[in-house]
Amino acid sequence: MKKALITGVTGQDGSFLAELLLSKGHEVHGVIRRSSTLNTGRIDGIFDPEDKRYIHYGDLADGIDDLLYKIQPDEIYNLASMSHVMVSFAIPVYTADITGLGCLRILEGIRKLGLRSKFYQASSSEMFGLTPPPQSEHSPFNPVSPYGCSKLFAYHITRTYRAGYGIFASNGILFNHESERRGERFVTRKITRGASRIKLGLQDKLRLGNLDAVRDWGHARDYMRAVHLIMQQDEPNDYVVATGQCHTVREFVETVFAYLDMDWKKYVVVDDSYRRPVEVPQLRGDASRIRALGWEPEVDFAQLVKLMVDNDMELCRKSIQK
């Protein structure tokens, strides 16, 4: 039985990855930050948050060497980060510490302890920034946010430890991936939740920033299948994970409101305060390398929207019943 350690296990990606690994018979350990309130909603049906055998408290600001030594994992998936691009402009130092140096602390722990663990780093399409699409593993990086810059440091330090110390260390450069479990501050979930609330009379308007941004959106469950596949290869490498299809934020809005039989123009307000200091105009990934390994996304754009809206409508109805 393989032992897997997931940082960021309480997030969207961490919860889907934990489900996948458990279904394959792995012993899965998750790292969560200690706080005054539990943020384990996404994994409550997967783990028992009080089960100290598989859920461990830790923080990438300090490093997790003790956990690495205790668990001796076969696979380490570093999904933890301060992952909201707009928020990274407000707290850039913290973003760099957790998102960038947090990765280094794990890699250094693997090196110092002499572990033979495979390591996966969750890299991001935000590293490409202003680089024109399509973006592949060979495209130049040009990040324009503290988040993108921090992810780029983590990407390169992962490659450095791979080359310098022979660690099996791979990067997955994941383009935008959403789901019913997406955080409410991210634009796709903000749209599906806001539209659902408007449909049910719980909200009047939806305020958004740049509607012209173009993104390559897939489903997080599909992308976690790709992450697992990356870690099953004989040699480490770096992989873009994307659908290759892109849509504007405006198209996402139109599709959501059309599904709910509403005219989005009556409810959506463009608010420049939601714009980033520097906007990334277009991201569209070329995932030829991982497709050559047999990976294909299963959920298309329309299905993704439907899944997210149906989930938010159910949640909003439940909130009314309470």
pLDDT under 50: residue ranges of the chain: none
> What pLDDT sits at residue 40?
81
* pLDDT score recorded for residue 300: 98
Give the global pTM. 0.95
Q: Where are the domains of the chain?
A: 3-177+218-241, 184-215+246-281+299-321
Positions marked active-site? 124, 126, 147
d(CA 9, CA 46): 11
Q: Which CATH number fits domain 184-215+246-281+299-321: 3.40.50.720, 3.40.47.10, 3.90.25.10, 2.30.42.10?
A: 3.90.25.10
Domain 3-177+218-241 has CATH 3.20.20.70: no
Instruction: Mark out the alpha helices in the chain (DSSP H runs).
Output: 12-23, 65-71, 85-90, 92-95, 102-113, 146-165, 187-199, 220-231, 249-259, 288-291, 301-321
Token code pair at residue 315: 């949640």
pLDDT at 305: 98
The confidence score (pLDDT) of residue 274 equals 86
